[in-house]
Chains A and B, each alone.
Chain A
Amino acid sequence: MRFLFDKNTWQEIFGSIGKNKTRTIITVIGVMWGIFIYIVLAGASKGLDNGFERNFETVAKNSIWAWSQSTSMPYAGYKTGRRMRLKVGDAITLENRIPEIQYIAPVNTKGVFGGEAAQGVRGLKSNSYPVYGYFPVIAKMATQKIYDNGRFINDEDEEQARKVCVIGERTEQELFEKDEDPIGGYIRIDGIYFQVVGVHKFTQTTPFGTDGDIYIPFSTFQKLYNTADNAQYFTIAAYDDADVVQVEKDIKSVLKSIHRVHPDDERAFGAFNLGEIFNKIMGFANGLTFVSLIVGLATILAGVIGIGNILLISVKERTKELGIRRALGATPNEVRSLIILESVFLTMIAGVIGIIMGAGVLNLINNLTQDSDFPYTNPTVPIPLVIGALLVMVILGTLIGLIPAQRAVSIKPIDALREE
């Protein structure tokens, strides 16, 4: 070990490495390229991973939407093709029966899935906008950013069926003047006056959302449009650790039992499972990480083998020099360590340069994709992976160095000296 920290040892190594600079540089490039590829791939797949994660961050990742359709099987005396209708009460039953459900909220809409949108009027300005009847709990499932001074629908709005609304950015632009504060202002929705309590920043939290959506309390929606206890769909969030596929199945079977639908009827209720899709995407990202790991390590291996190859040639070239050293008193171990240390040193230098270059390229890509929709955020390579790669390089460098080192000492000094 003392040998490793000896200044003299390093002077010897620098001496022999510096002797043939071109060869050293070419050797180093092999490993450098390997670790560079490894870092860029690992970082890029992490970036994609983070990017997907960011794209989903506004929605609870375990979200499920469930809606009603028509039956396709006769059951319990009912004929086929019966039109199903979700009831507000179903939500309570679902929440009680399925413990994995964290939040559930019935939703009614107007002008979202076909049908006429609501007429929003303010003074002389008017346009048609989709209207949602939302429970306050929706905010916990699909995070809507509300602009300063504003707020989302709260429990009191819901209890008292207040005529308040949260409007979209576009709605604000179309109904209000540019420098006017919309908060506290009134707009008319299908003939009824509503007070604006918030403006939401548009983020795609459902496949059908737009920047003109108007949210009003669910109870107000019931009164305005006479929806009684019907619900158009349920927005459901399962707990993070729940098996979302199972939860979706449970929801459907509970709904079937409430509404007396044949247990095997696949058509009566529809559902969209974001959790399942999210898991698939994350699975893809994980696969990508794994592939990049394998490709990176294979490239490093190829580079290290290159170093071994070059050192083998170098030992052949230096046969005479090594013979002189041994005539002057170098022991076989000293010669061996010189070659191995050279190998490890070259590998490490190459590795560190490769890591720095890889980090640079990752940073560049990050800057270029900063403001785009491309799902790519904060590409990082976890420190353990970097240390692991360096460790792999040291081990491989040592192992590959053993071959030329053994070759160097296998030649007798007298034969080495004779070589011209």
Chain B
Amino acid sequence: MIEIKDLHKSYKMGSNSLHVLKGINFSVEAGELVAIMGSSGSGKSTLLNIIGMLDEADEGEYDLDGIPIKNLNETKAANYRNKFLGFIFQSFNLINYKTALENVALPLYYQKMPRKQRQEKAMKYLEQVGLKEWSHHLPSELSGGQKQRVAIARAMVAEPKVLLADELTGALDSTTSYEVMELIQKINDQGNTILVVTHETDIAQMCKRIVYLRDGVIIKDEKVKQVRAKAHV
């Protein structure tokens, strides 16, 4: 699903340049649940942003489901993001004046889907994350765990090839974190490819594969025995 070859990325900081990614080789098969682990500054978020087409690599190749991702202009990147990728952020990033349902339906709006169809589909995904009764509430009326579930529904609604989650449990307490991870595992069980960036070991253990990043290189890439989140709840 994802093929990355010899990926480099550096940031210019005044006269210095900071080499963040120093030749990443990495691939993800369809249906995998991969955790990218590393301390802060290891380059894991940068990698995720490049995979998410929010940022561009300086060097190297990146293919997403056979499509080479290179020299995209903003419009094309936006269209690819909309069709191929679903984002889940640490701080949820819901639009605060839109209801849960409207938030979930937003990616479909950018697909130019008619309103009625959009709302039906959004409702279906809200139901999957168990928030059907909360569909007309604003984000401010939801708890952290609920917000993140709305964000997951929003990431899922466009039926993307890959779900990208950046520290999705970073703002949640451990019980809520496990609930959210249970949901992620359930979605993965349905065959969705998911990439999770985290620095929490217990969260990483709930994935099927862990990629360790340090100082811009992959130091370890191993398959693990998945810990089911359900056991902790």
Contact = CB atoms under 8 A, between A and B. Distances in A.
B115 A331 contact: no
B87 to A, nearest CB: 5
B97 A19 contact: yes
A331 B93 contact: no
Interface stretch (A138-146, A177-185, A318-326): A318-326
Contacts of B93: 320, 324, 327, 417
A162 B74 CA distance: 97
Contacts of A414: 49, 54-55
B154 interface: yes
Contacts of A332: 74-75, 78
A412 B154 CA distance: 21
Nearest to B93: A324
A8 interface: yes
Given A16-B97, A409-B74, A329 B79 contact: yes
Contact of A417 (B89, B95, B107): B89
B154 A328 contact: yes
A328 B110 contact: yes
Contact of B110 (A16, A18, A330, A417): A330
Contact of B109 (A12, A19, A326): A12
Nearest to A327: B87
Interface in A326-382: 326-334
B81 A328 contact: yes
Nearest to A329: B82
Nearest to A325: B106
Contacts of A417: 54, 89, 93
Given A8-B109, A15-B98, A329 B74 contact: no
Given A327-B81, A328-B154, A329-B78, A7 B115 contact: yes
A8 B115 contact: yes
A99 B121 CA distance: 86
B22 interface: no
Contacts of B55: 414
A328 B82 contact: yes
A16 B95 CA distance: 10
**Chain A at the B interface: SS class:** helix
Interface string A1-43: 0000001100110011011000000000000000000000000
A313 B98 CA distance: 20
B110 A413 contact: no
Interface residues of A, number: 27
Nearest to A321: B95
Nearest to A326: B78
Contacts of B78: 326, 329-332, 334
Interface residues of B, number: 29
A327 B154 contact: no
Given A324-B93, A414-B49, A417-B89, A334 B110 contact: yes
A12 B93 CA distance: 17
B111 interface: yes
Contact of A331 (B49, B74, B102, B109): B74
Contacts of B112: 8
A405 to B, nearest CB: 14
B132 interface: no
Nearest to A332: B74
A324 B95 CA distance: 8
Nearest to B155: A328
Interface in B74-124: 74-75, 78-79, 81-83, 87, 89, 91, 93-95, 97-98, 102, 106-107, 109-112, 115
A258 B22 CA distance: 112
Interface in A387-420: 409, 412-414, 417, 420
A149 B46 CA distance: 100
A368 to B, nearest CB: 45
Interface in B151-179: 154, 158
Nearest to A2: B112
Given A12-B109, A334-B110, A417-B89, A329 B83 contact: yes
Contacts of A326: 78, 81
Contacts of A409: 74
Contacts of B98: 15
A331 B79 contact: yes
A332 B97 CA distance: 21
Please list the 5 inter-chain residue pairs (A to B) with the smallest Cβ-Cβ separation, ordered nearest first. Answer: A329-B82, A329-B110, A19-B97, A414-B54, A331-B78
Given A328-B107, A328-B154, A417-B54, 17 more contacts: A11-B115, A16-B97, A324-B94, A325-B106, A326-B78, A326-B81, A327-B87, A327-B93, A328-B82, A329-B79, A329-B111, A332-B75, A332-B78, A334-B78, A412-B54, A413-B54, A417-B93
Interface of B: 49, 52, 54-55, 74-75, 78-79, 81-83, 87, 89, 91, 93-95, 97-98, 102, 106-107, 109-112, 115, 154, 158
23 contacts: A12-B109, A15-B97, A15-B98, A15-B102, A320-B93, A321-B95, A324-B93, A324-B95, A325-B95, A325-B106, A325-B110, A326-B81, A328-B107, A329-B81, A329-B110, A330-B78, A331-B74, A331-B75, A331-B78, A334-B110, A413-B54, A414-B49, A420-B91
